[in-house]
Homo-oligomer: A and B are copies of this chain.
Amino acid sequence: MIKTKKKKIDKIGNIRHSLSHLMATVVQEFFPGVKLGMGPAIENGFYYDFDLVPKGTSFTPQDLSKIEKRMRELIKQNIPFNKRIITRTEAKELFKNQPYKLDLIKELRDNKINLYQHGNFVDLCLGPHVKKTEEIPQDAFKLTKIAGAYWKGDEKNPMLSRIYGLAFETKKELEDYLKIQEEAEKRDHRKLGKDLDLFYFSELVGPGLPLFTPKGTFIKEELQKNVEAICREYGFEKVSTPHLTKIDLYEISGHAKKFSDELFRVTSPRGHEFVLRPVQCPHQTQIYASKIRSYKELPIRYMESSNQYRAEKTGEVGGLNRVYAITVEDGHTFCTPEQVKSEIKAMVNIIKKFYTSFDLWGKHKVFLSVRDYKHHEKYIGEKKDWDLCEKILQEVSDEMKLNAEKKEGEAALYGPKLDFMFKDALGREIQIPTVQIDFATPKRFNLTYINKEGKEQNPVMVHRAILGSYERFLALIIEYFAGALPLWLSPVQVQVIPIGERHKKYAQSMVKELEAENIRASARIDNETVGKKIREGEMQKIPYLLIVGDREMKNETIGIRERGKGDLGAIGLSDFIEQIKIEIKDKKIKK
């Protein structure tokens, strides 16, 4: 979505709205008897809904270019748009053959009915519009899509045919937008997920419930290994907790109320009553609570990659970005107040290290999300705790040079946080990692430790997300790398393609050599042509294709094709292995 500046909204809005009316004029001209629905300006363009005769007919792509052409002719005629006001009775007479317009008139309370007219075309409309069609740039609009749409969005009403158009102030803006759209389509993780054989949806299982293939599972697990290895360096230990719970747990934590709409209820014919967890924090508190703790044991750091469930709105579920079951890498530190700052620094270092392996660190912003100072009552916890937390986060930002931007009113319910914003493939800002201080939850669950003075004290809980949900993170990186995942993360790193039948054994022996060096390799020993194997290898975004034939066998070399770079010539296998082992170890990104 391109951001339009506030000042321009009216001008471009008028253009878009007027283009919608012009389109309706042309449709009336080409499709006599058409009934008109509504035609507003929308973000990036406009649409108009039509009911064609005979019933059930719709537009063809060819129609769109004809309509577009005729619209340009009309624009050239510099037709003026005029506002008129008539009475309800006059309006009913005027639109007597337009049932949808009559339906709209019925809803209007005023006796004065607004119209806009250009040429012979009159529409029920509040405006505003351009004064004359010369204000509309000829080369900055385009009709793009035909879609079905229920009248007033209600599926009990008739289905109309909608034509969408894009419109901007300049040709360049339109072109830029189209380019981004094209890029977005190419990078769409739903399309690439299928092309690269990573995940599927099954009608029998249902939408919002992705099934990961061996390759998709491999990537998820590799991400997990990577994030866990980094967290382990900072003392995090894995725990594993169930996805079900009695709702009692969330009545104490506050999530029962917070997630009431999104909470899946679990029942059985035997009378069981549970809920599926929407978050992992409360479960992790229960492991902390399983023993008496001493200050000597703190910090205790738990992490867990596991499922959380949210009853998302059916209409909002799609691809991997919004699913019912998300696999979340969630972690919490329980520590003394004195340890909070160094724990947060450790978490920032984890985030830095992890995002560096995707070449994303440095392309980010940090927000320090603090409370709404005017409305402390919206939050849980005492003022002095909040002041302390915000101070700690500011110090971390200063000392680690994060340049965190303060965002008032963006804190979590239980405490302030550091949010890390990254840019996706299309430049949109996405928040994934977060570090949050929480004095409230340990108090709610009555978590304690015996302090140095031998007294019971509540620990502080620090929440942290590194990659967030695997599903969303996977969608992000698939789109960011347009499917060409970094070598270290590629399910197949090297594919060996023998030129002829007599090179197959050699190809297979190479795979063995590569595998012995922990390089994920496969050989294409089926009977397709070399050309097709190369094309398919490239489609699959395999980082390296090794071509072996007579010459390579004789010289004990391989012909390398690198992803995105094509043929790199011949090289000895052991040199190649050394080279890519470094590339893997250093998690290098080649783009």
Contact = CB atoms under 8 A, between A and B. Distances in A.
A397 B133 CA distance: 86
A249 interface: yes
Interface in A323-348: 324-325, 327
Contacts of A249: 202, 204-205
A243 interface: yes
Contact of A200 (B211, B245, B287, B526): B287
A327 B313 CA distance: 29
Contacts of A314: 270-272
A302 B289 CA distance: 38
A57 interface: no
Q: Report how many copies the assembly holds.
A: 2
B204 A248 contact: yes
A526 B244 CA distance: 38
A242 B204 contact: no
A210 B242 contact: yes
Contacts of A220: 240
Contact of A264 (B240, B261, B267): B267
Given A213-B287, A272-B311, A311-B269, A204 B239 contact: no
Q: Name which of A205, A241, A246, A307 has the most chain B CB atoms within 10 A of its CB.
A: A205
A305 to B, nearest CB: 11
Contact of A218 (B202, B238, B261, B262): B238
Contacts of A358: none
Interface in A278-293: 282-283, 286-287, 289-291
Interface in A222-269: 237-246, 248-249, 252, 260-269
Interface in A194-224: 197, 200, 202-206, 209-214, 216-218, 220-221
Interface in A292-324: 296, 302, 307, 309, 311, 313-314, 324
A587 to B, nearest CB: 22
A220 to B, nearest CB: 6
A274 interface: yes
A218 B237 CA distance: 9
Contact of A268 (B210, B248, B262, B526): B262
Contact of A526 (B245, B291, B296, B307): B296
A276 interface: yes
Nearest to A252: B204
A206 B282 CA distance: 13
Chain A facing B: main interface SS:
mixed
A133 to B, nearest CB: 46
Interface residues of A, number: 64
A582 B243 CA distance: 39
B311 A268 contact: yes
Given A287-B213, A290-B211, A307-B243, A274 B206 contact: yes
Contact of A202 (B203, B262, B286, B311): B286
Contacts of A206: 244-246, 248, 274
A402 B249 CA distance: 50
Contacts of A264: 266-268, 272, 274
A58 to B, nearest CB: 30
Nearest to A215: B237
A324 B262 CA distance: 22
A227 to B, nearest CB: 15
Given A242-B205, A244-B209, A287-B213, A269 B261 contact: yes
Nearest to A289: B202
Contacts of A290: 200, 202, 211, 213
A498 B195 CA distance: 58
Q: Name which of A197, A311, A327 has the most chain B CB atoms within 10 A of its CB.
A: A311
A494 B283 CA distance: 30
B240 A313 contact: no
B204 A244 contact: no
A325 B243 contact: yes
A205 B314 CA distance: 28
A211 B276 CA distance: 15
Contacts of A244: 205-206, 209, 309, 324-325
B266 A265 contact: yes
A267 B261 CA distance: 11
A276 B276 CA distance: 10
Nearest to A470: B240
Interface in A150-181: none
Interface string A567-585: 0000000000000000000
A465 to B, nearest CB: 19
A552 to B, nearest CB: 26
A237 to B, nearest CB: 4
A205 B283 contact: yes
Given A206-B274, A245-B204, A291-B197, A239 B212 contact: yes
In the A-B complex, the 7 residue pairs with the smallest Cβ-Cβ separation, listed nearest first, are A268-B311, A214-B237, A202-B286, A200-B290, A209-B242, A206-B246, A204-B249
8 contacts: A205-B241, A205-B249, A206-B274, A209-B244, A211-B283, A260-B269, A263-B269, A270-B313
Given A205-B244, A272-B311, 6 more contacts: A205-B283, A206-B248, A212-B241, A240-B327, A266-B276, A296-B526
